[in-house]
A and B are shown apart, each in its own frame.
Chain A
């Protein structure tokens, strides 16, 4: 296997700033490569650019500068349509909020990407995904009838349904209890271990991050720590230090 084939997603000197009356730099030259068959946790204080990084890496947003590759494909060269088709087949995404289409049932929401791409869904795999997120009995319900955590699990099931190469999750366990969170996280872990898919997830929870092979910590749009499998305590300590440093900086500034 060549080194490039081992990289599922690579982000090269990516910057993203939002224009407007007061321009905001959400990402300032981020470099990162996510290897195939690994799970990475992205952490950092609120507003540090985690969601933005995920959106850029997934091709949901275009960076102001820099380059994003999924596998060997350079996203900046793709048209909006080609980008969408790539997302549809090779990328799964779970958003922080507002994940589901209210008009569609749980099942229809999960099948939406395959329906949009006109592919026949893999029924056996679907049944397994639904089983593992624990939604077997709610398939005919509408999102408005589900709890926040259940909605989040539907979104995860949808992200997994097409067996994408990479799955991006923005705080997948934010709304879940410890028990369900553990189930969801082990589901994500197992797709990495069993099928060699790649997972990149944003989380605030050190325990969730400990399921990952690697933890990236963002602050002010930059990567400030890159820790391989550090364990929950080390993560918590790093975050705490980051918090202290920020308070000091604010006081000094």
Chain B
């Protein structure tokens, strides 16, 4: 059978190229997603910084008991957005563990070095240098509070030598130090060392450490020490081996989360689309060869043999596709990784790892989908009796069974019921909801397509006749007779229009929501922005400037909320509530921001929906460092996208964020008052800060978003591209399969021009239907998801984008049909009639 399959493949290259292209592109996309996930899971940051320690005790993650599912309590573990802290007292406990030579507390302090701006720097106490360990290259360790040691990277960037004076910004203020020495660079981030006492003083979270490194006594039993440390650490987590690299490296944790999340989410969406496309293409290719298969049956192939033949062909194609798709996927992932590094999503220590596992999983998955589709397509062909098959090869059969109609309607109902969804927060959830809904709609269209096609043919017949005359008459007849054959074409077109229209625009809508809400909700005209952070005093100082009506310090952070489905980190802000009503308008729906205190909180309406909170409820949530708090909800507001889903009093956050500093201060000035000089003084008082128009702040936000949504946009573009490829594929296949039919038409006296016009008329009919359904599906999906996440009824659709989708679909359909038809028409009809189907 395999030999026969190979021969069939070789003979019908054209038809198989389409299936092959769909499979290979599918393998490539899935391979990229899988490899991102695999590399992310294997990525452990750079353990050099803690290479000297046998174990690191820290608190980098939070495990939250999740919802009860089927009687079992699930739990979710999330990385702590602000990094967790361990108490100072734990150092003594750990040092007392047998086999432990020393336990060293590590302060991790955000530092900015104006001498080499743009390089993120971390400050530590000299005591923790043994954890790496660090080697002195020149000079000596810091001995006085005014001394620091810098690493080679900073020394090179700022041309520093021992004895030089250097200014660094810590805690929002510039401080002068003398360089005591230079150490070799070991950590992925640039590093400076203070004395231990100075480090303790500068740490914004006194009384705690970012991590504690445990050094084992020489000759101690490593495993026993680790077990004892684990027991002694209590609540805190113990990291050993490669996992040490993730402690104290927020960018490594973020890189891991980003690649794993993006890879698996998009892998999921891609898988759905690939199932559609592969099933459609394989089904179509089997359908076009019914005559051959029927003959095989008649010439004495058992149903099983025909099935094996089809499965053999598709299996071979899957293997071929994997052979091309896997290397292509590797290349695509390498490119993606480079882009991610260049754009600053992941540190350049992030490398692609593994691949064998991903390649295997993807190959198997795609082969299973393809074989499943082939099996279903083969079932019909091989179950019917041989003469029936010969007969059917010429005439189209009935539209389809009751089961098909019923399942189609069920899908439609399911999709429609999803339009009422509420309380989806966050871009990923929204994207997931949109894709799920879209999938159901397209599935419904695929199932109901025969009836849709026939109804459309009836409806359009008069139009086609009037516009195209006798060619239009033939076109309408073809559309009706071929209602089943056009299923794959209609589905592919609806899929690309629907996907492009819904998911691409959804991303635009989410981005736009953020900027629009931020713009509309900012009442202040000016903002003091400090890239090295601003102390709370900046707000107080701004309020004293003549002409300033109100000033609000804003601290951006994330908190972890127990949403119904799982615990999630959501963006949050801490504000100084005094006079906030003059600078911020969060679109409060219920309650009042004036009641915001240390013990209360305001949340967005979508967040309240997602967690099941109401005004006056006690909300239990976790601050960015994992501290649980219970806060009474005093206000619900609409502009969660622009300002974060949770708004707290800055006081609540004190000691719970990594820097302990504000990001910006919103400043409202009285009309006509000239606060210019006062504001200029303010900016001068804080290093690396500037006063900008509030619009600039929204603009920068938009810029940041554009950068951070790059990966999403890229992956969506790939998926839309894949849907388009599939549509083109099916169109070409359908066109080429008509050789005999068109030859016959020309033999009975239809001119070449008439045939062309007939095909044009068919295309117009089909396209009209596909565009109408596709746009309807996209519109319903987009508006309900946008409504659910942003509360806006009418989604934003950029005119250019809409034109691209409509124009692109038309161009695609014309090119993918008229070119092959043109080729078919160039062969003399007598040859065409003899040509194998």
Contact = CB atoms under 8 A, between A and B. Distances in A.
A101 B300 contact: no
A120 interface: no
A62 B387 CA distance: 9
Contacts of B295: 98-101
Nearest to B309: A116
A101 B298 contact: no
B390 interface: yes
Question: Most chain-A CB neighbours within 10 Å: which of B8, B390, B393?
Answer: B390
A129 to B, nearest CB: 16
Interface in A71-118: 80-81, 84-85, 87-88, 93, 95, 98-104, 108, 112-113, 115-117
B300 A113 contact: yes
A61 B302 contact: no
A143 interface: yes
Contact of A61 (B305, B385, B393): B385
Given A84-B301, A84-B302, A98-B393, A103 B388 contact: no
A158 interface: yes
A99 B292 CA distance: 9
B7 A81 contact: no
Nearest to B303: A80
Interface in B817-837: 834-837
Interface string A57-71: 000111000000000
A95 B291 CA distance: 13
A84 B834 contact: no
A103 B291 CA distance: 12
A240 interface: no
B300 A87 contact: yes
B836 A102 contact: yes
Contacts of A88: 300
B70 interface: no
A37 to B, nearest CB: 23
A55 interface: yes
Contacts of A116: 296, 299-302, 305
B834 A62 contact: no
A103 B300 contact: no
A60 B385 contact: yes
B140 interface: no
A108 B6 CA distance: 13
A64 to B, nearest CB: 12
A85 B302 contact: yes
A62 B292 contact: no
A121 B671 CA distance: 102
A103 B299 CA distance: 15
B387 A80 contact: no
A224 interface: no
Contacts of B237: none
A104 B291 contact: no
A102 B11 contact: yes
Contacts of B836: 102-103, 143-144
Interface string B359-391: 000000000000000000000000101111010
Contact of B835 (A55, A99, A104, A144): A144
Contacts of B292: 101-103
A84 B300 contact: yes
Question: Most chain-B CB neighbours within 10 Å: which of A80, A113, A115?
Answer: A80
Interface residues of A, number: 28
Contacts of B301: 84, 116
Nearest to B10: A103
Contacts of A61: 385-388
Contact of B385 (A62, A81, A98, A117): A62
Contacts of A112: 296, 299-300
Nearest to A91: B300
A81 B303 contact: yes
Interface in B1-58: 4, 7-8, 10-12
Interface string A160-184: 0000000000000000000000000
Which applies to chain A's interface (DSSP): helix, strand, loop or mixed? helix
Given A85-B302, A87-B300, A144-B834, A104 B385 contact: no
B390 A103 contact: no
Contacts, number: 72
Question: Which range contains the number of B residues in contact with the other chain?
Answer: 20 to 34
A88 B385 CA distance: 15
A104 to B, nearest CB: 7
Contacts of B386: 60-61
Nearest to A103: B11
A81 B302 contact: yes
Interface in B596-610: none
Nearest to A159: B299
A98 B740 CA distance: 13
B639 interface: no
Contacts of B8: 103
B359 to A, nearest CB: 31
Contacts of A95: 298, 390
A104 B4 CA distance: 9
B304 interface: yes
Interface string B289-318: 001100111111111110000000000000
Interface string B451-492: 000000000000000000000000000000000000000000
B296 A101 contact: yes
A117 B302 CA distance: 9
A190 B300 CA distance: 24
Contacts of A113: 299-300
A81 B4 contact: no
Contacts of A102: 11, 292, 836-837
A98 to B, nearest CB: 6
Nearest to B293: A101
Contacts of B298: 60, 93, 95
Question: Most chain-A CB neighbours within 10 Å: which of B296, B303, B385, B387?
Answer: B387
A115 B303 contact: no
Contacts of A103: 7-8, 10-12, 292, 836
Nearest to A18: B391
A93 B296 CA distance: 12
Contacts of A115: 4
Interface string A116-131: 1100000000000000
Contacts of A101: 292, 295-296, 299
A84 B299 CA distance: 9
A99 B388 CA distance: 15
Interface in B136-184: none
Contacts of A104: 7, 11
Contact of A84 (B12, B291, B303, B388): B303
Nearest to B296: A101
Contacts of A108: 7
Contacts of B4: 115
A61 B389 CA distance: 10
Nearest to B7: A103
Question: Most chain-B CB neighbours within 10 Å: which of A61, A102, A113?
Answer: A102
Given A62-B385, A104-B7, A84 B297 contact: yes
Nearest to B11: A103
B293 to A, nearest CB: 9
14 contacts: A60-B385, A84-B303, A98-B291, A98-B393, A101-B296, A102-B292, A103-B7, A103-B12, A103-B836, A116-B296, A116-B300, A143-B836, A144-B834, A158-B299
Give the 10 A-B CB pairs with smallest separation, nearest first.
A102-B836, A103-B11, A88-B300, A84-B302, A61-B387, A55-B387, A81-B302, A60-B387, A60-B386, A113-B300
Interface of B: 4, 7-8, 10-12, 291-292, 295-305, 383, 385-388, 390, 393, 834-837
Given A93-B298, A103-B11, 16 more contacts: A62-B385, A81-B303, A84-B297, A84-B300, A84-B301, A99-B295, A101-B292, A101-B296, A102-B11, A102-B836, A103-B10, A103-B292, A115-B4, A144-B835, A144-B836, A158-B299
